[in-house]
Structure 1
Amino acid sequence: MWQVKRALSGQCQTLLGVLLLSAALIIHSAQIGGAAKAQPRLEPGVGEVNSAEAVNGARLPRSVFHVRWNPNEKFVVESRESPAINSSKLAPHPRLKVSKNTKLTLSPKLYLCHDKYSELCHNKTQQFRQRIVQTFEKSMSESFNDSQPNPYHVDYKPVFGDSFEEQYYPSTCLVMEAGVRVLRRKDKPFDKVPFGRLFPRQKLFRNIKNIKTCAIVSSAGSLAGSKLGRFIDTHDIVMRFNHAPTQGHEVDVGSKTTIRVVNSQVVTKPEFDFAHAPIFRNVTIAAWDPGKYNGTLEDWLTSADYDLFSNYEIYRRRYPKSRAFLIDPHSVWRLWQTLQMFAGNRSIRRNPPSSGFIGLALLLPHCPQVDFVEYIPSTRLNGRCHYYSKEMNAACTFGSWHPLAAEKLMTLDMNTADDMSVFQFGILRIRRPDKLLCGFNFFGY
């Protein structure tokens, strides 16, 4: 009898173990399924490979988002940053001539979608990409003719023309080798003049080993309503431009600012109040002025495009512990040369690159991964120049004075993110190139 009870007990224990195991598997499956259902469709999955990719053996660029993004979530961070001048009296975009074509020639809303798994959304994104690239190509082809003025005396002679090396050399390497840099006290002639002592002794970026991710936040009008602020603030370094504010726009553009790249108009003109405005304090400043294409630094000191030196001196003497640097104008023109190399036989405007492209070149050598926010227009494109003003001008996006079309086509060539991230979410990702890929110096220095 005891043996029968023991046998029955053993069977019951086995049956109970099977039931418990089955229940555990069911619960685990439910958790996985629930997590999959709970995951927002707007949050791209990093590392996913679909069946088509596996079959073809080609991995598509990945989506850039690494934080959960909920368009209904309000995420506000207090900020003391506001425009340098009243937002109702904002000056036009620095160095941007008003274009006759102030209206958009396409309707971005027709291509707007959020379901990255939908074939219809995929097709819409591809169509929008094609329209944007075509617009840049057209703008680039129409932006230059020999009759245009050449105020910077640009006399460019290609080094290799259409050589194999130039055509297939990575764009990121070209940008890195342009060597965009800030001036130091030891640079001639500043090592011999009192003005050079105003330059900070520190390097532009501190604790480089701790820098992993960087965000470059454009001032594009399409940032309005983007709700990208939380994503932007997760980066180690956040770069902004000129007097673009964060106060009142934190949900869309974030509140963190590490460095501001400002052009010499902003430094010079009284309405921006560079030497006193709070927006330019407690942040690293990198100011630039192009000077002449082949001019010396001595020439630049006496004939800058805009005399930024006076206000820079006032600023540095007022805030001696500030981190305000001047960008080497020679390196700005080397960066212009990279654009002309990328354009090949097509001539680009003989004007310096935009602050955005200069900022990218300044940051890329120090940051393994750069997320450029709304530099390439997404389907949020609304024709506004800036997210903080209501000025409407398509030239702010597609170029009128800077060689902007060439810049944006080149950044697209450097992009590693997928089209959904770039054209629907507004995030373009550029990775710092491996040293093994680069090393051929096209500039001869």
Structure 2
Amino acid sequence: MTMRLKRVFKITALLSSTTILLFLYFQNAAVVLINNSYSFVFERAQRTSHICLEDSGNSSWFNERYKPTVPLLLNSTNSVLQRNIFSWWKELQDVRSASNYTKVVDQLFSLFPNEDHYSDAGPDRCRTCAVVGNSGNILGSNYGQLIDSHDLVIRINKGPTEDYEKDVGNKTTHRIMYPESAVDLDDNTYLVLLPVKVLDMQWLISAFTTRHIRHTYTNVPSSIKANKDKVMILHPEFIKYVHDNWAEGHGRYPSTGFLTLIFALHICDKVDVFGFGANSDRKWHHYFDKTMTSFENDSHGGDFENKTINQLHQENKILMYKGLK
């Protein structure tokens, strides 16, 4: 009788454990299938519960390039530029306007937040980020809900969400832009300015005050709808660092997309990348604009940037979602 009871107890315990495991398995699968219809996503659900516990592995290639101490964003305490950095940055613009840099910086931080953003890195932080590029290969991907599930969703230039939510999502926490690519933002989105020239900083001030700057090398909006308490400016030293360390000097300066991706590597613990890449003919178009353009660019080392992005994926430092087209 005792042996029979023990046998029944063992069978009951085994069935209970199996039931619990099956419940957890199908519960996870159901959650993921709601978010995305692709078969590979269940594996991703298994991983996302341990996103920041995973060891992406040591990479000498990555460690040679990554500089954790580089200033990411400009503020009054780090605004004095080293001579070599100022000389490089000055060459990207009208040299005469660069002489106004100190005066313009003083104006900037009397108007916009003067903070040391993203200084909270540490072993307990787990910040997931989606970097959403503008490549047409994202059309038909159904990535929208997956993108929106990230803590931060960083978009680039004019890439819209309206009418494209299914593929690109509708959440935007940060948008990196310059005057010539400026668009209106909602009140909860950070405007992250990419300053290639002092005039870009002057435009930012003007857009929130006098609205007198309407032209740079082309027509630009004289004002912008955005929250002035959520304005950030990429540091010129960071731009040069990306050019030197990651683009290895290819092009005059890095593309906005490439800068955005490296920026995400510095503020996020897990970086997923969407809407990047060209087609097999080395051509690409925006998902919102069918005009085909050359993949390579005189100003940016597009081909080398693409190779570096692919290497980051191979080194398990980012996860690339390449879409369907």
2:231 corresponds to 1:365: no
Match of 2:313 in 1: 415
Given that 1:185 and 1:201 are in contact with CA atoms closer than 8 Å, whether structure 2 keeps it comes out as: no
Residue deviations 1:124-144, cap 9 Å, x none?
xxxxxxxxxxxxxxxxxxxxx
Distance 1:309 1:340, change over 3 A: closer
Distance 1:329 1:26, change over 3 A: closer
CA drift of 1:261 comes to 0.7
Match of 1:68 in 2: 32
2:285 corresponds to 1:385: yes
Question: Quick one: distance in 1 between partners of 2:273 and 2:65?
Answer: 18
Q: SS at the partner of 2:191?
A: strand
Match of 1:202 in 2: 114
Question: Quick one: distance in 1 between partners of 2:63 and 2:24?
Answer: 38
What letter is aligned with 2:181? V
CA drift of 1:407 comes to 1.5
Distance 1:247 1:207, change over 3 A: farther
Match of 2:193 in 1: 287
Distance 1:193 1:310, change over 3 A: closer
Distance 1:226 1:415, change over 3 A: same
Q: SS at the partner of 1:68?
A: helix
Please, what TM-score do these two structures have when normalized by structure 1? 0.49
Q: SS at the partner of 1:311?
A: helix
Q: SS at the partner of 2:286?
A: coil
Distance 1:173 1:205, change over 3 A: farther
Question: Quick one: distance in 2 between partners of 1:392 and 1:404?
Answer: 18
CA drift of 1:262 comes to 0.5
Given that 1:378 and 1:424 are in contact with CA atoms closer than 8 Å, whether structure 2 keeps it comes out as: no
Counting only pairs closer than 5 Å after superposition, residues 241-280 of structure 1 correspond to structure 2 as 241-267=156-182, 274=183, 277=184, 279=185
What letter is aligned with 1:228? Y
CA drift of 1:238 comes to 1.6
Q: SS at the partner of 1:393?
A: strand
Counting only pairs closer than 5 Å after superposition, residues 80-119 of structure 1 correspond to structure 2 as none
Match of 2:235 in 1: 328
What letter is aligned with 1:203? E
CA drift of 1:409 comes to 1.6
Please, what TM-score do these two structures have when normalized by structure 2? 0.64
Match of 1:406 in 2: 304
Question: Quick one: distance in 2 between partners of 1:235 and 1:289?
Answer: 27
CA drift of 1:241 comes to 0.8
Between the two proteins, what is the percent identity of the paired residues? 19
Given that 1:185 and 1:191 are in contact with CA atoms closer than 8 Å, whether structure 2 keeps it comes out as: no
What letter is aligned with 2:285? C
2:72 corresponds to 1:181: yes
CA drift of 1:206 comes to 5.3
Question: Quick one: distance in 2 between partners of 1:335 and 1:30?
Answer: 51
CA drift of 1:400 comes to 3.1
Question: Quick one: distance in 2 between partners of 1:211 and 1:203?
Answer: 21
Question: Quick one: distance in 1 between partners of 2:264 and 2:102?
Answer: 29
CA drift of 1:190 comes to 7.3
CA drift of 1:386 comes to 2.1
Distance 1:290 1:173, change over 3 A: farther
Question: Quick one: distance in 2 between partners of 1:169 and 1:260?
Answer: 31
Distance 1:394 1:240, change over 3 A: same
Distance 1:423 1:237, change over 3 A: closer
Question: Quick one: distance in 2 between partners of 1:224 and 1:425?
Answer: 7
Question: Quick one: distance in 1 between partners of 2:257 and 2:156?
Answer: 7
CA drift of 1:194 comes to 5.6
Question: Quick one: distance in 2 between partners of 1:423 and 1:191?
Answer: 39
Distance 1:194 1:408, change over 3 A: closer
Counting only pairs closer than 5 Å after superposition, residues 12-51 of structure 1 correspond to structure 2 as 14-26=3-15, 28-29=17-18, 32=21
Distance 1:385 1:29, change over 3 A: same
Question: Quick one: distance in 1 between partners of 2:205 and 2:141?
Answer: 38
Match of 1:294 in 2: none
Higher relative contact order (CA 8 A, sep 6+): 1
What letter is aligned with 2:61? P
Match of 2:206 in 1: 314
Given that 2:178 and 2:194 are in contact with CA atoms closer than 8 Å, whether structure 1 keeps it comes out as: yes
CA drift of 1:246 comes to 1.9
Distance 1:204 1:219, change over 3 A: farther
Distance 1:178 1:219, change over 3 A: farther
Question: Quick one: distance in 2 between partners of 1:232 and 1:34?
Answer: 26
CA drift of 1:115 comes to 6.5
Given that 2:72 and 2:263 are in contact with CA atoms closer than 8 Å, whether structure 1 keeps it comes out as: yes
Q: SS at the partner of 1:322?
A: helix
CA drift of 1:357 comes to 1.5
CA drift of 1:70 comes to 4.8
Question: Quick one: distance in 2 between partners of 1:34 and 1:320?
Answer: 45
Residue deviations 1:289-344, cap 9 Å, x none?
434xxxxxxxxx3xxxxx43443113333878432233333432332122454xxx
Relative to its length, the structure with more strand (as a share) is 2
Question: Quick one: distance in 1 between partners of 2:102 and 2:321?
Answer: 50
Matched length: 266
Distance 1:34 1:217, change over 3 A: same
